[in-house]
């Protein structure tokens, strides 16, 4: 059965960390719109350089840029058995597009990772990511074995430019306005499940496994 999981929630709720754990457990690809955009930015593609100016301000990248990137992935061979998406959809337009991109096979579940603003600001300020492989760390709760160095690939950890307090607040604001309406969108389809994003990673992961029953 095709398994399709959408991770919804504010920036810093843990979509990327939880998603990469579930991706290993279920053997499903994790498709992260933020990672895809940062990859394009690094490679200097046209889409990437267009997206960059929105990302550095904490604004949403225009729908058509993101939709094209995601559609390419989701309809490719990698996602034949299903997928986990993190960071997409982020607007109602994107959600409606997603409904038309993805076939009806199997099951779709949406997990909403819930967390409060102060918690999110603190967690994002303490987040570091590997500049090489993208693995996510938290200086207090999920520190690397060796300070400043990725456990997996040995490259340096960096703080994302948009993980500075002022930009974090902007991202939260954009989230409330543009993305939070998706909660109702998926609730009315009866596929929304709410899970706390403030707990321990392992607890969050096992709760999602229980909900999905995959």
Residue 39 or 117 having the CB closest to Zn ion: 39
N-terminal to C-terminal alpha carbon distance within the chain: 9
CB of 171 to ligand ADP, least distance (A): 5
Interacting partner of 97 out of Zn ion, ligand ADP, none (Cβ under 5 to 8 A depending on kind): none
Compute the distance between CA of residue 153 and CA of residue 20 in angstroms, rounded to an integer: 16
Interacting partner of 171 out of ligand ADP, Zn ion, none (Cβ under 5 to 8 A depending on kind): ligand ADP
Residue 76 or 105 having the CB closest to ligand ADP: 76
Q: Containing H/E element for 14?
A: none
- Write down the catalytic residue from 3, 15, 123, 135: 15
CB of 92 to ligand ADP, least distance (A): 12
> Which residues is 85 bridged to in the sheet?
6, 31
Q: Contacts for 135-143 with beta carbons within 8 Å, 24 or more apart?
A: 135/20, 136/16, 136/17, 136/20, 141/201, 142/17, 142/201
Compute the distance between CA of residue 14 and CA of residue 120 in angstroms, rounded to an integer: 9
Residue 92 or 191 having the CB closest to ligand ADP: 92
Residue 153 or 158 having the CB closest to Zn ion: 153
Is residue 82 within 8 A of residue 28, CB to CB? The reply is: yes
Interacting partner of 88 out of Zn ion, ligand ADP, none (Cβ under 5 to 8 A depending on kind): ligand ADP
> Considering only residues 75, 116, 141, 152, which one is a binding residue for Zn ion as defined by CB under 5 A?
152
Based on the residue annotation, tell me whether 21 is a catalytic residue of this protein.
no
Q: Containing H/E element for 142?
A: none
Interacting partner of 214 out of ligand ADP, Zn ion, none (Cβ under 5 to 8 A depending on kind): none
Which stretches of 3-77 are DSSP H helices? 15-26, 33-43, 46-55, 63-74
Based on the residue annotation, tell me whether 128 is a catalytic residue of this protein.
no
Indicate if the alpha-carbon torsion angle 98, 82, 109, 24 is positive or negative.
Answer: negative
- The yes or no reply on residue 157 touching Zn ion (CB under 5 A) is no
Interacting partner of 14 out of Zn ion, ligand ADP, none (Cβ under 5 to 8 A depending on kind): none
Chain contacts with ligand ADP (rule: CB under 6 A): 11-12, 33-34, 37, 54-55, 58-61, 66, 87-88, 90, 94, 162, 171
Determine if the peptide bond prior to 89 is cis (ω within 30°).
yes
Residues that bind Zn ion (CB under 5 A): 130, 132-133, 135, 150, 152-153
């Amino acid at each position: 059965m095709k398994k399709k999981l959408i991770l919804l929630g504010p920036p810093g709720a843990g979509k990327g960390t939880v998603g990469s754990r579930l991706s290993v457990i279920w053997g499903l690809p994790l498709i992260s719109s933020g990672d895809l955009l940062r990859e394009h930015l690094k490679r200097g593609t046209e889409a990437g350089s267009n997206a960059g100016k929105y990302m550095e301000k904490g604004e949403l990248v225009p729908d058509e840029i993101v939709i094209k990137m995601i559609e390419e992935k989701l309809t490719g061979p990698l996602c034949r058995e299903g997928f986990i998406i993190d960071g997409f959809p982020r607007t109602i337009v994107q959600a409606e597009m997603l409904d038309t991109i993805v076939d009806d096979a199997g099951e779709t579940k949406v997990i909403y990772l819930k967390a409060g603003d102060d918690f999110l600001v603190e967690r994002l300020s303490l987040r570091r990511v590997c500049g090489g492989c993208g693995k996510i760390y938290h200086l207090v709760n999920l520190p690397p074995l060796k300070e400043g160095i990725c456990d997996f690939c040995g490259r340096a950890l960096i703080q994302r430019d948009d993980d500075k307090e002022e930009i974090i607040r902007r991202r939260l604001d954009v989230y409330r306005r543009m993305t939070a309406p998706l909660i109702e969108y998926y609730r009315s389809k009866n596929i929304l499940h709410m899970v706390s994003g403030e707990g321990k990673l392992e607890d969050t992961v096992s709760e999602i496994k229980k909900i999905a029953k995959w």
